[in-house]
Structure 1
């Protein structure tokens, strides 16, 4: 039988199987990642740059993954609700948070963001690299629109996303990956960030260093969008 599934360049996310749901895809992805027992995920430096000047309060971390951002936020005075669809990665993140001494400051919750979000509103809502080959554009739009409703008046919505592939990537990525790259202007439309309700504090593209799975070096472009709800 000929394998007609999309081929992925080395170092990128795998293609979803026809039977995959968001939960099965991300559980499988995270279960395949082997890490040392004492490993703790590091925060995104771009998040650190953008959040360091904000007054700590309540934070919602969407698609928290291994918990690097949530742990850093908790260490810096925030009370965090951290959400992911993968129970496998939430368990790893909770263990890392306990080891870091901030387990009591983070509420880990399992949600498929296309179906549910934590209750309440938050002073900071953050979505770091919320890319998923299991979700189409309409589903992603719905997720960002719903996420925006969880930002409290005066609160901040911080979105950091890939807008280009690393320069060390030599193969053309398949459509299921390229479809995930959208500029901040599209996210602003998804969020319905109308003037008078929201103000844009940061809208930029940052070129950062990037290292491939075999030690390849290069750069990659990330978009940073930080908006504030006025009322």
Structure 2
């Protein structure tokens, strides 16, 4: 399975067909042939809004692409686990982190993995974030399970994740999304009309 659709350098544009979505080679080639400038982009603004209100802790960046969000989080003191299916994307991400110096690079653990086959660690994360992960409905259980009680799940996608989360276990965070222009893999620009969902996992015995 392909674990990201990525916006722009996290590669957005038209989603590939479903057969390609599950092909690791597709994403290796996509990153290998991308405009280098498209792989250096600003972190997702919705992540900035959510994370800036949280105390830094453990965070999972699921489908991290070339690393903009992971590096931004590490720069602010988060201990980051950044997962992507593409080794090429992870190479770009590591280089980006190393440019920030050892304090930032040392806070990030990079993993090449398929999210549909990935299992959340028992200790969980204070924040789990993902942007345009293809076949998101297939990985929602893993992402939700990775959030600690009291932790936050942030998803930027076209899929209504709230429809599949148990309302007894999650408290939605109101967010307002608006169309935005982002770079595409080929160096051009595209407009994204995001669906943004954030929710806090309700701790046991919390009203």
Please list every run of 5 or more consecutive structure 2 residues that lacks an aligned counterpart in the other structure. Answer: 1-11
Map 1:3-152 → 2, pairs under 5 A: 12-13=13-14, 15=16, 21-35=22-36, 40-101=40-101, 102-120=104-122, 121-130=124-133, 132=134, 135=135, 140-152=136-148
The one of the two structures with greater contact order (alpha-carbon pairs below 8 A, sep at least 6) is 2
1:114 aligned counterpart, secondary structure:
helix
Which structure shows the bigger proportion of residues in helix conformation?
2
Please say which structure displays the higher CA radius of gyration: 1
Residues 1:113 and 1:52: Cα distance change in structure 2 (over 3 Å): same
Map 1:177-196 → 2, pairs under 5 A: 181-182=158-159, 184=160, 187-190=161-164, 192-195=165-168
Distance 1:105 1:71 in 2: 9
Query: Once the 2 structures are TM-superposed, how far is the Cα of residue 208 of structure 1 from its aligned partner?
Result: 2.4
Please list every run of 5 or more consecutive structure 1 residues that lacks an aligned counterpart in the other structure. Answer: 1-10, 162-180
Kept in 2: contact 1:61–1:82 (CA 8 A): yes
Distance 1:28 1:61 in 2: 22
Kept in 1: contact 2:156–2:196 (CA 8 A): yes
Query: Once the 2 structures are TM-superposed, how far is the Cα of residue 193 of structure 1 from its aligned partner?
Result: 2.9
Kept in 2: contact 1:59–1:123 (CA 8 A): yes
Distance 1:92 1:15 in 2: 22
